[in-house]
């Protein structure tokens, strides 16, 4: 199944529960609950939001705080990052969300392999602690990152996922495009990203998409999907070929509208049935 939805609660909503209902009324099937400045949702509220989402068929996910860094030179930052991640995992459990998305960390002056070792250790500790708190049903999703100073390539994630279970990549197509200085230019480029994800043998694909402005160091800022940087119309028909579950969260400056645009683009990419449109 293909699902589309916005990053965050729609602007017209007063709270997350109302946001879920608005998302459903729009004809969308997913919403990412953004805890990017910290988890400020109690268990009771999270369960109410989760019940509403389940009733309406809206797939929830959760995004951990942006200030998480499992590879800081400051041990205190690493410990606080673990705690922020654990709180996000607990919120996702209460929401019924199957995945928590995280920007795992930075290189912090280390070589990539050295940084990967530290991050793998942190991910393993978070995973073990989360499982002990009843969060084994929540996948920890490591987001592919758009800036060259940020940890988060498929190769780096493979080293972590081969050692820690219940962890998988979150495919941010626009981050990959920006980090590669505009690397997603053709249908084949997008196909190679999907193939790289499939090599992880994950049960579902959770991804992000937006337009993006990039420079020598990678991502600069998000743009609307209509910017075609990268071009979603090249990805849309490929998604229809996949048999696994796919959820794409729109992170553009207009996430609700652009999630609908992405959904409409996919529908227009469906092959027409033989004989469709013929006159009687």
Using CA of residue 47, residue 39, residue 66, residue 103, what is the dihedral sign? negative
Cis before 248? omega within 30: no
Q: What DSSP line would sit under 152-207, residue for residue?
A: --HHHHHHHHTTSSSEEEEEEHHHHHHHTTS---SHHHHHHHHHHHHTT--SEEEE
> Is the pLDDT confidence value at 94 over 80?
yes
Q: Is the pLDDT of residue 280 over 70?
A: no
Supply the pLDDT for residue 272. 79
pLDDT tens figures, 145-191:
999 999 999 999 999 999 999 999 999 999 999 999 999 999 999 99
pTM above 0.75, yes or no: yes
* pLDDT tens for each residue of 178-236: 999 999 999 999 999 999 999 999 999 999 999 999 999 999 999 999 999 999 999 99
- Topology adopted by domain 2-269: TIM Barrel (3.20.20)
């Amino acid at each position: 199944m293909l699902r589309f939805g916005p990053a965050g609660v729609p602007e017209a909503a007063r709270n997350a529960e109302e946001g879920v209902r608005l998302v459903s009324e729009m004809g969308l099937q997913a919403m990412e609950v953004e805890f990017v400045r910290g988890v400020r949702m109690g268990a009771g509220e999270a369960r109410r939001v989760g019940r509403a989402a389940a009733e309406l068929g809206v797939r929830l996910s959760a995004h951990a705080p942006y200030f998480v860094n499992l590879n800081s030179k400051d041990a205190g930052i690493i410990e606080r990052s673990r705690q922020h991640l654990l709180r996000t995992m607990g919120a996702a459990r209460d929401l019924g969300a199957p995945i928590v998305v995280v920007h795992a960390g930075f290189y912090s002056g280390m070589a990539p392999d050295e940084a990967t070792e530290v991050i793998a250790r942190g991910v393993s500790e978070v995973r073990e602690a989360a499982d002990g708190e009843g969060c084994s049903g929540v996948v920890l999703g490591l987001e592919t990152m758009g800036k060259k100073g940020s940890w988060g390539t498929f190769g780096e994630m493979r080293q972590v996922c081969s050692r820690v279970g219940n962890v998988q990549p979150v495919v941010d197509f626009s981050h990959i495009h920006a980090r590669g200085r505009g690397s997603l230019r053709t249908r084949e480029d997008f196909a190679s990203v999907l193939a790289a994800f499939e090599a992880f043998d994950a049960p579902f694909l959770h991804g992000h998409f937006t337009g993006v402005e990039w420079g020598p160091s990678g991502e600069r800022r998000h743009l609307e999907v209509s910017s075609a940087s990268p071009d979603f119309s090249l990805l849309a028909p490929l998604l229809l070929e996949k048999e696994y579950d796919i959820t794409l969260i729109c992170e553009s400056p207009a996430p609700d509208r652009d999630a609908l645009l992405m959904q409409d683009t996919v529908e227009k990419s469906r092959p027409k049935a033989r004989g469709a449109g013929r006159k009687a």
